[in-house]
Chains A and B, each alone.
Chain A
Amino acid sequence: MKVFEGLQFRHVSSPIHRLDPRTKFIISCVIFAQAFLFTEFLYLILLFLAQLPLVILARIQRQWTRSLRGGLMLIFLIFFTNLIVGVVSNDFQLTSESLTYSTSMSLRFVVLMTSFSIFFLTTSPDDLGLALEQSHIPYEFCFAFTTAVRFVPVLAREAQTIMDAQKSRGLELEKGGFMKRIRNYIPILIPLIVSAIRRSLELAEAMETRAFGAKKQRTSLHALKIERRDIITLVLCFIILALTIYTRIYIPIPDVSIPIPPI
């Protein structure tokens, strides 16, 4: 649940928040692309460090660390799966390479999560919807998308309440064997699904009573405009992307590896 909480948008005034959502989307895509172009430890660490100023500039440190903490389980999972595979395929020897590789893979996940956070924490769902609309995507799809994004935190909160309610009736989630544990989730999933369906039907009725879709041509009170700061950011992004691709192809990256700690 903490992962979702970390992704909840809040209005803050910062240079990043003021950028056009489309620009921010491109920034995130560029970071994404770089994270996938490289598996080298050195590069990924640099990429991670390069993201930190953005996080601080956007003043989202608190939510960002919270979402990282929420994703800790996954990070460990990635690390240990890679490590175990590395060790097994190396005649059960723990090598410096496999340690470095597992760390890089976990770091890559952190980088991806961070770029995701930077985008969602600084873009309001409304702006996101507007950006989609102005990209000529049919309004029904934009609406469905923004509603889904908007309801993620609501659903997360509701799941928490349902869990609390069932625990108060003596349900112990961590008790029993594997199958029993899975069955323990039934009393949580059913109310969650039922109320989500009930809510969506109510939402549909409420929208219809307010004449959703009565007019084909929609106008917006606020329109998004690409400003000078967006153009500068975009140009920077493309230069960086071009440079990284060039580096990938022509310049070898020095091998930095983590030594095996003596045990």
Chain B
Amino acid sequence: MIKIEPEFEINFDILFIGAGIASISAAYYLKQLINQYNQENKNKLNNITIGIFEKSKAVGDHILSGAVLEPKILDEFIPAWENSNIPVKIKVSQDNMYFLNSKGQIPFPVIPPGMNNHGNYIISLSELLKWLSNECEKMGVEIYTSEPIKDLIYSKEGKVIGVKTGEKSLDKEAKKKANFSPGAEIGIKILAAGEGSYGFITKKLINKYNLNQNRESQSYVTGIKELWEITPENFSKGEVIHTFGYPLDFKTFGGGFFYHFKDNLAALGLAIGLNYENPKLNLQEELQKFKTHPLINKILSKAKLIEYGAKTISEGGYYSIGKLSGEGFILIGEGAGLLNSQKLKGIHLAIKSGILAAETIFEALKLNDFSLDQLSKYDQKIKESWIFKELHAVRNFHQGFQKGLIPGMIHTGLQMFTGGRGLINKFKTQEDYRHLKKISEYSSKNKEFTPDGKITFDRLTEIYFSGVKHEEDQPCHLKIKDLNICINRCHEEFGNPCTLFCPAKVYEFENKEGLIINPSNCLHCKTCEIKDPYNIIEWTPPEGGGGPNYKNM
């Protein structure tokens, strides 16, 4: 019998979704392996097409990280990095950790070994990505921007054989405008999804192929971040501060950070566990409160806000990582769940997964074998690498905080002495949205907060500093399954928490009009899909090029 597979007009041998550090590293490493092979062998791997498809207008526009980088990974990746002009130059000079209450701070006498940042570097991940993507393009990797991947194409046997890009110029009612352009179908040999936290396509793959069977559910943290230009008197290049406690209550997982970067720029932010209970919690406001703490407030005197943004982080770790390969595809980076929750670091893991993915793909290309057996070797490589050792050691960290900060600290202490096991090995986790309490069940002590307009701001002021922009006349990319639930049930039971947790004030509730959605403000952080208590919001990629415009986040 002749097998008839659909033929595609456009084809890529290897297609990466998302120009994040995972995809860019994988493409970079793969291209080097191929080039080296071609130099050494007569039978060459010719005309291998490697494409990276990114939804933002330019590489780095949607990238937000801390970021403190563990440079060990660079030795594996770009051996001569220290002598190159790679933008990894600011070494951590001082490493502080504090517990905060509303008025003061207590320094940690010892920083837990895993959380120590000596020898690490403070970087701008978008700056690093611009540099690396340039190197990739010089080698012939093709990066296509303003091109979200919106769908998958399967063969009759259920193998992934292609992807679809998003259409352009549909109006609000999904009618075609004069310059409508349909999405393109692209045939692939291997798809590598590097979409970062809560990937849209990754989610489809996980569900379709049941990749997370018998794994704990993933849990998330939303990181709200600001970049400031501070006065030279207050600037202390390379200093790193991490905090626990204020403004978060003992029940809420999370912590603050403050990194003195370069050119008087300082990155600060707050990461808040999305398994919080308080239905009235306003995440952006919590960050504002963090800045009013004397420790931070002092440094920000006469400083200037430069950028604002938000992004979720996958914190579930070891027990929530499922199978990472399937028929025609592999998952890389944070979208695969690779993040160290204790350190809040994922860059080194994303790069390592990229390297291992490149090795697997390279083997597949040499053997011309794109079968599941071949791609499954990627899972094996990840398991045998230091990635799993590292994640295993902190397997219970985030989960240990489920019952709050104090039990969390105790668990962490015990985990340190038991190689990560602690009192309870493998905590049961529930999806984050299930943790939210109804208004009637939660006695909230939320005080009214008024921003001062100098150091603290409201959400609408801040989103200007994210540079966010979308084509206004397009279908709403936030799909709500049943608006009646929002207006009738949620309003009453939870008080429409989306209007508070969304860092970009996308959702507003008006008594007359019900729930109003401003999709143009969306920062693509995906908090709403994760935290909405009825689990009825779906974030889908909007028209290509839309989104935040982060420059140095």
A-B interaction: no
* B-to-A contact residues, CB < 8 Å: none
* A-to-B contact residues, CB < 8 Å: none
